[in-house]
């Protein structure tokens, strides 16, 4: 039996990923209730603070994606309210949420990550878009991958295979954020490695291989059943799988993360993994990667969520 008498699951928010967050929250609520834990699912609106003050939960599970859910803001509020929560603290979230900063941190500890350029929208316009983009192609080559420097669910992200496609990719990117991250695109096998710390240090779960039917793991491929084929565990040699696991745990540790994270990688034709980004609030929907990895490891998602909450409650807001 668990000592958890009142658990709060935060879902929704006002980011572009609201609908996905609501689905994640419902899933976490379902598996926790099945595990015998009383759950309250709440959005992050003006009623949240007075409700929490009136009836403080034992711990909170944050399933907010994008925006304040992953940039540390909501976690800062939870700490102000003395509510323990699952996951990384505000400072680590701010670093991990900004993709160029996260890349710099993992590169500093020796991880392989694609060469890239970070370009704010103002600079893109002020210096002359065509001249800047021409130079990017000269430096990084083709193909490229363009994505917002913050956010997830592949919103605003696209593959660029010709120089003529780059301007429209930048416009699409800037629709979801003010800064673009333009990376050298690495052809290979897309893999996600979730990391859990259930009290004995961070451990990588089996890698999940992602094979979208259109070749690109975009928003529709992520959240529409049947649009992507998943292999859990991934079809990798033991040596490559071990390298992916090591990269994910190293990234988790270097970025100061806690409890749970998911690292997205590309394994190139030589079997070398490349770090792409890390997620501090991994999706928990029916098509999300962390639940697949938990199942592939032979674990129960409800039990994992319960243990994470119990750890958070015991830890408090430290």
Instruction: Give the annotated binding-site residues for Mg(2+).
Output: 264, 277, 279
Residue 222 in contact with residue 289, Cβ under 8 Å? no
Active site residue 165: no
- Binding-site positions: 264, 277, 279
Determine whether 229 is an active site residue: no
- Peptide bond before 29: cis, by omega within 30 degrees of 0? no
Of the listed 17, 70, 209, 310, which one is catalytic? 17
Q: Characterise 112 by phi-psi region: left (phi > 0), alpha (psi -120 to 50), beta (else).
A: beta
Question: Has 288 been annotated as catalytic?
Answer: yes
**CB-CB contact of 125 with 174 (8 Å):** no
* Given the residues 15, 24, 149, 153, the one annotated as active site: 153
Burial 215-251 (b: 16+ CB within 10 A, else e): eebbbebbbeeebbebbbbbebeeebbebbbebbbbb
Which residues have a catalytic role annotated?
Answer: 17, 153, 288
């Amino acid at each position: 039996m668990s000592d958890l008498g009142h658990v709060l699951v935060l879902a929704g928010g006002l980011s572009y990923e609201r609908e996905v967050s609501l689905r994640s929250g419902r899933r976490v609520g379902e598996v926790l209730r099945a595990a015998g834990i009383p759950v309250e699912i709440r959005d992050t609106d003006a009623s949240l603070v007075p409700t929490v003050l009136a009836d403080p939960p034992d711990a909170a599970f944050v399933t907010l994606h994008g925006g304040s859910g992953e940039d540390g803001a909501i976690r800062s509020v939870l700490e102000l309210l003395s509510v323990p929560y699952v996951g990384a603290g505000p400072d680590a979230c701010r670093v991990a949420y900004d993709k160029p900063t996260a890349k710099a941190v993992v590169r500093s500890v020796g991880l392989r990550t694609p060469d890239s350029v970070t370009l704010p929208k103002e600079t893109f316009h002020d210096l002359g878009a065509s001249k800047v983009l021409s130079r990017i192609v000269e430096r990084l080559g083709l193909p490229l991958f363009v994505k917002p420097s913050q956010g997830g669910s592949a919103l605003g992200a696209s593959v660029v295979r010709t120089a003529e496609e780059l301007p429209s990719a930048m416009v699409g990117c800037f629709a979801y954020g003010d800064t673009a991250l333009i990376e050298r695109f690495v052809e290979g096998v897309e893999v996600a490695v979730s990391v859990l710390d259930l009290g004995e240090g961070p451990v990588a779960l089996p890698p999940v291989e992602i094979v979208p039917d259109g070749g690109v793991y975009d928003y529709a491929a992520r959240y529409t059943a049947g649009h992507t084929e998943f292999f859990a565990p991934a079809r990798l040699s033991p040596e490559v799988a071990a390298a992916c696991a090591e990269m994910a745990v190293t990234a988790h540790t270097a970025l100061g993360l806690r409890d749970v994270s998911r690292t997205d990688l590309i394994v190139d034709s030589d079997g070398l993994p490349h770090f792409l980004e890390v997620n501090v609030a991994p999706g928990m929907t029916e098509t999300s990667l962390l639940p697949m990895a938990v199942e592939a490891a032979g674990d129960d998602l409800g039990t994992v969520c319960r243990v994470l909450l119990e750890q958070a409650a015991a830890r408090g807001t430290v």
